Amino acid sequence: MGFDEGARPHSLEGEGSSLMLAPRPWNEEARLEALRSYEVLDTEPEASLDGITRLAAQLCGTPIALISLLDEDRQWFKSRVGLEAQETSRDVAFCAYAILREGLFVVPDAHLDARFARNPLVTGAPHIRFYAGAPLLTPEGLALGTVCVIDRVPRQLSPEQVRSLETLAEQVVAQLELRRMNHTQRRLIDELRGSNERFQILQRATNDVVWDWDLVTNQVKWSERLAPAFGYAQKDTSPESSWWFSRLHPEDRERVTKSLDHIIDGSGTLWTDEYRFRRANGTYARVMDRGAVLRNAQGNPVRMLGAMVDVSEREEMRSRLALADRMASVGTLAAGVAHEINNPLAYVIANLDYARQEVEHAVAQGTLEAGELPDALKEAREGSERMRLIVKDLKMFSRPDDERMELVDVRRAIDSATTMAWNEIRHRARLVKAYQPVPSVYANEARLGQVFLNLLVNAAQAIPEGSADCNEIRVSTRLDERGRIVIEVRDTGGGIPEEIRARILEPFFTTKPQGMGTGLGLSICHGIIASLGGELGFDSELGKGTTFRVVLEPPVEMGRGKVVERHVLPAGRRGHILVVDDEPMVLNAIKRTLSTEHEVTVFNRARAALKWLEQGQPWDLILCDLMMPEMTGMEFHAELVRRWPERVSDIIFVTGGAFTAGAREFLGKVASTRLEKPFEPQALRELVKSRLSQAD
């Protein structure tokens, strides 16, 4: 989109105020003509578009969402959520600016934007502060209006929300195109009754598969679009109507037949239905079929004309949006649960270690009989360690927007994936790990783990339940002759039929029943591995199983350095340690762990800790939680930067997980040391000792 280079926003003077008017697009006349061609202005609400508006508000978390169309003088809302008004003047429309560009138009805070600060929609109801609008671009690039979301407080959208809003704008245009096509076809069908010549015209006027059913002879003619749409050449079809009905999905056949019979045998004229239609390659397309019954003078049905369109892509897009929404919710929930578990797990582990030390000391001193108490404490400690590893894996798989690249231990990533997939595997097959030594790879740990998890779950689901002793899933790592890292996931399932192997890695292709998968898993895995410069392939044999193979390049040689052996630090000086955490039992555990070697002062509120620091109390290190109410660790850090910038490096973040985007961004920027909960008490003692020795 564009507008005249000389055109700029100009003021409309009012009583004591001025309103900034958006310039008109340079192609305004063509844009208005395109808008009129859709015949959508001042029409009744439509469920398909209202669903998109509700989804926009849900995905972006805003109280208001609109599908707005701009004519010469007004913006009219085809669909609206959270707003009573049906239309407004174009002079006050934020969307008038949004249609001037192709990308998303965002106003984070209208009060701070000169174009909108005095806009009556800002100063009065609905009190707009935040606006984001994605233009509705026709295939010719003409902007009809926008899909927009509005809030009454300043804010920003995440990258995922931006992409979702732009995708929804594309879906609105697709719905408008389908709507216009339906109207056009309905008019054509009305005009072309009972004429073969008219039937040929109809075929040329649409890209749909047009059919002509002679109800007297029961013969069906198909348009030439049948081949490109569904793979059937004319020689592969039969004029008998039974050929058509035999290609309906078995679960849909009876319903569709009854709906057709109802229209034909009754007095109805127009028929519409959606069903699954088998393509020539054996897969099913979801189609929308519409037809009109033609009757003779006596009212008897003699002919039916119709058009069938493949709407699979539309349904797949809906599934993707719904899946993305569910996965984002699950990921957020998983990260939050991991954080909540880590806090109590931190003090459970610390207190178990403290209790074990006290018991061992008492037994050594002869003041306590050993009995089974040491073993019970040891078993409890081992159980808590298993919980710690499970939570760590859960955190890794709940970071969909963390794109950090680092050296990743391949075997560790596989082990995390097997832990997450174990419930799918255990009832179907034995799990065998055959690891040969391989170097780490430079990748995003969560993304690589996602690949291994998907391959493991697919391998498990290729094997029926109840035969675990007779089946095997083998995961192996090795280096090939070129020194590349090879990871293989092999199953003893039924194998992949040869006729569909070429499509296995295609987006949306799936052999699972409807509702059980979107066909995106392997395609996403292929994209992740390709982005790392690697390869994803497979071998399969019917009746024997399938092997999926990931091949990755090793990291660039960084030079061989000496192996740094872990050593015990010599006893250091006694330090003053300040601990800030909103969980009292975490504070107790840390104090108990460190107080034999250091002076430890604890606070469960960051503001109280700041007041203590203002009194000039001596301190060497601060151990601070990240996610706290009232004042977060991030805000506490900002206060240290402002008041004591020379001491900022003396803060160590002890966190149960950065499960918000802001927290992850913060940790990516600051150089402060961090220790994740639940921590090993000895690791905490060594970290403090090391930092104190560095300070000396």
Residue 511 is predicted with a pLDDT of 59
Band (564; pLDDT cuts 50, 70, 90): very low
CATH number of the structural domain 10-160? 3.30.450.40
* 486-515 mean pLDDT: 75
Distances (CA, A) of 8 to 25, 91, 129, 638: 11, 14, 23, 41
E strands, 411-491, are 430-435, 441-443, 472-479, 485-491
Least confident segment among 144-158, 399-413, 626-640: 399-413
CB 652 within 8 A of CB 623: yes
For the stretch 325-361, pLDDT in tens is 555 555 555 556 666 676 677 777 778 888 877 887 7
Checking if the pLDDT of 16 tops 50, the result is: no
Using alpha carbons only, what angle is made at residue 436 by residues 431 and 441, rounded to the nearest 5 degrees?
100
DSSP β-bridge partners for residue 151: 130
Band (179; pLDDT cuts 50, 70, 90): confident
CB 132 within 8 A of CB 163: no
Buried-exposed string 180-192: b where 16+ CB fall within 10 A, e elsewhere: ebbeebeebbeeb
Residue 349 is predicted with a pLDDT of 78
224-233: long-range contacts, CB 8 A cutoff, minimum separation 24? 229/308, 229/310, 230/277, 230/279, 230/280, 230/285, 230/310, 231/279, 231/280, 231/281, 232/280
Q: Name which residue leads in pLDDT, 499 or 639.
A: 639
Residue 322 is predicted with a pLDDT of 54
Distances (CA, A) of 134 to 141, 144, 145, 147, 161: 13, 11, 8, 5, 11
CB 339 within 8 A of CB 659: yes
- With a CB cutoff of 8 Å and minimum separation 6, the contacts of 512 are 461, 519
* 229-255 mean pLDDT: 89
Band (15; pLDDT cuts 50, 70, 90): very low
Checking if the pLDDT of 662 tops 80, the result is: no
Residue 565 is predicted with a pLDDT of 34
Mean model confidence pLDDT for the chain: 82
* 481-499 mean pLDDT: 89
d(CA 78, CA 64): 14
Amino acid found at 11: S
Residue 518 is predicted with a pLDDT of 46
Question: Do the domains 192-310 and 10-160 match in fold?
Answer: yes
Least confident segment among 92-101, 191-200, 533-542, 678-687: 191-200
Could you please state the CATH topology (level 3) that the domain comprising 576-695 is classified under.
Rossmann fold (3.40.50)
Could you please state the CATH topology (level 3) that the domain comprising 402-558 is classified under.
Heat Shock Protein 90 (3.30.565)
Residue whose entry in the numeric block shows the structure tokens 């995440």: 158
Q: Strand, coil or helix: what is 16?
A: coil
HSE of 256, CA atoms in CB hemisphere, 13 A: 21
* 77-98 mean pLDDT: 93
End-to-end CA distance of the chain: 63
Residue 242: exposed, middle, or buried by beta-carbon count in 10 A (0-12, 13-18, 19+)? exposed
CATH architecture entry for 192-310 = 2-Layer Sandwich (3.30)
Least confident segment among 24-33, 190-199, 339-348, 354-363: 190-199
CB 575 within 8 A of CB 688: yes
How is the chain split into domains, by residue range? Answer: 10-160, 192-310, 402-558, 576-695
Residue 112 is predicted with a pLDDT of 93
Instruction: Give just the sign of the alpha carbon dihedral 79, 85, 90, 93.
Output: negative
Q: Name which residue leads in pLDDT, 205 or 568.
A: 205
CB 532 within 8 A of CB 475: no
Q: Name which residue leads in pLDDT, 547 or 531.
A: 547
d(CA 694, CA 583): 29
Nearest to 536 by CA among 494, 504, 500, 495: 504
Residue 445 is predicted with a pLDDT of 79
